[in-house]
Structure 1
Amino acid sequence: MKIVLFDIDGTLLHSGGAGKNAMMQTFEELFRIKNGFAGISMAGKTDPLIIKTAFENHSINPTADIVDQFKKRYFELLAENIKLNYAKKKIYPGVSDLLDALAEHPEIIMGLLTGNWQEGARIKLSYFNFDRYFSFGAFGSDSIDRNELLPIALKRCEIDNRNGWKNRDVVVIGDTPNDVQCAKVHNALALAVATGTYSVDDLYRSGADLALDDLSDVESIKNWILKKK
């Protein structure tokens, strides 16, 4: 059995900026600060880490109540923003066909490993009709540290483990060095895709077992997942 854990943003889809815009709008509404996330790189980060950095940059005390208010309004605005006609909003090449192919294979089970809060992930995936592929996952809601998410995802993976699958039977698919790192620290495999902000060379240098321009070569990717040890 192979367990394939997907990142969302930059890997499966580009929201067109819906997530970032919803965060900036929320920040401005709550704190009267424009461009509250200026200078903060979001690629490969968990949502809790992103807002923690913004709060620190603007000397805001992140009490539990403030964080809850932020998340509630962010989810509302994300649900609105994801429906807007952003020029860059898209599904990346090969993604739909790859998800179909992996979902049909009896020796592969798919889940999520994403820095999004779980509700944010649901909103994005539902818009693109991708939520139907994933019955479990680990999210930014579970830990601010992406490196802690893989064991959480595996605990939620409800499969028959009589054959004793190991971490080398787990493949993390993502678009940043952080995705690669969160796989390698647990001795899992990292398949990196250069559809985000990093090149194939960047991703190989970060330790990826396989790095590709995109996910369009579905048959080769499926075979690599099944044969790689």
Structure 2
Amino acid sequence: MITGHRSEGGARSRRISVRRLTAPPHRVAERQVRREMPLVLFDVDGTLLDAGRLIAHTMIQSFLAAGEAPPRPRDIRSVIGLSLPQMVDVLASDAPRTLREKIVAGYRLRYFDAVENEDPPVFDGAEPAILRLKAAGVQMGLTTGKSQRSLDFVLERMRWRDWFATIQTADDNPSKPDPTMIVRALAETGREASDTILVGDTRYDMRMARAAGVPAIGVGWGYNAPDELRAEGASAIATDFGHLVSILSAWRQTHDDAADMAVRDV
């Protein structure tokens, strides 16, 4: 279980003392690099962006335009985290495939028109938290059910692109909870599952992390309740972004202590 004190204090890192280590110099250097670069994978909608209202509105309009009775907003929010075609498959499970495809196509047109004419709805505290992690030497990535086009707009408008070492979207991966997004993120960054943690707001994030063998932190401001996230395997629930940074700092300290012991045992 991952624990963390709720605090606004920044993440801390410790230097490895070479005099305390018995490993050969090249192994010491390798361990220092790995200690300075743990990988934190973020979900986007519901974790970094407050996009639920726009997603629900766009989905309702897409159903109406296709001549279908729209789902309730709460039902739409319950499937945020899946990729768009899988969301529609759940919400319109009795509709023929051609109608579901029409809803998906209509959603994409309406959503792109909406998001590209306004600033991304970034949660308060998200950017400062990302900057604190970046300053502490944490490597970061994104694993999202958003399309590449939609995510590109966010990254360009917020000037976030260079902050993330790996970006996994619905265009190139199966929908969550399939673990492929995490598997590819690890391959692209050279990280191990033991060096990695996922931050997300839905049961699909928690299931994806469990399938990939990485721990997960749930956030309490997204689209699934904290109790549901715990039941799906969340190691901790962050109540705000300051708390999230504290939890990640505690995880990193535990990770670094374990790394120290592994190196001393070589």
Shorter-chain TM band: 0.7 to 0.9
Residue among 168, 190, 200 paired with 1:174: 200
Cα distance in structure 1, aligned partners of 2:183 and 2:59: 28
If each structure's helix is expressed as a fraction of its own residues, which one has the higher value?
2
User: In the superposition, relative to structure 1, how do residues 9 and 72 fare at CA in structure 2: closer, same or farther (>3 Å)?
Assistant: closer
Partner of 1:186: 212
Aligned to 2:79: 42
Which one of the candidate residues 234, 247, 250 is aligned to 1:224? 250
In structure 2, distance between residues paired with 1:74 and 1:156: 33
Superposed CA RMSD: 3.1
Q: More strand per residue: 1 or 2?
A: 1
Larger Rg: 2
d(CA) in 2 for partners of 1:202, 1:71: 28
Higher relative contact order (CA 8 A, sep 6+): 2
After TM superposition, the score normalised by the length of structure 2 is 0.67
Alignment of 1:64-143 (within 5 A): 69-70=105-106, 72-80=108-116, 83=118, 90-106=121-137, 108-141=138-171, 142-143=173-174
Given that 1:4 and 1:111 are in contact with CA atoms closer than 8 Å, whether structure 2 keeps it comes out as yes
The letter for the 1-side match of 2:115 is A
Measure, in 2, the Cα distance between the counterparts of 1:222 and 1:28: 43
Q: 1:43–1:55: structure 2 CA closer, same or farther, 3 Å change rule?
A: closer
Note the residue ranges of structure 2 that are not aligned, 5 or more in a row: 1-36, 256-266
Identity of aligned residues (%): 22
2:27 is aligned to none
Q: Aligned residue for 2:4?
A: none
Structure 1: gaps spanning 5 or more residues = none
Query: TM-score if structure 1 supplies the norm length?
Result: 0.77
| Per-residue Cα deviation, 1:73-106 (whole angstroms, up to 9, x for no partner) | 24533435x628xxxx853343221100112233
Question: Contact conserved, 1:55 with 1:61, CA < 8 A, in 2?
Answer: no
Aligned pair in 2 of structure 1 residues 43, 212: CA closer, same or farther (>3 Å)?
same
**Once the two structures are superposed, what CA deviation does each residue of 1:107-127 show, in whole Å capped at 9, x if it has no partner?**
x21111112222222334545
Residue 210 of structure 1: aligned partner: 236
Query: What secondary structure sits across from 1:197 in the alignment?
Result: coil
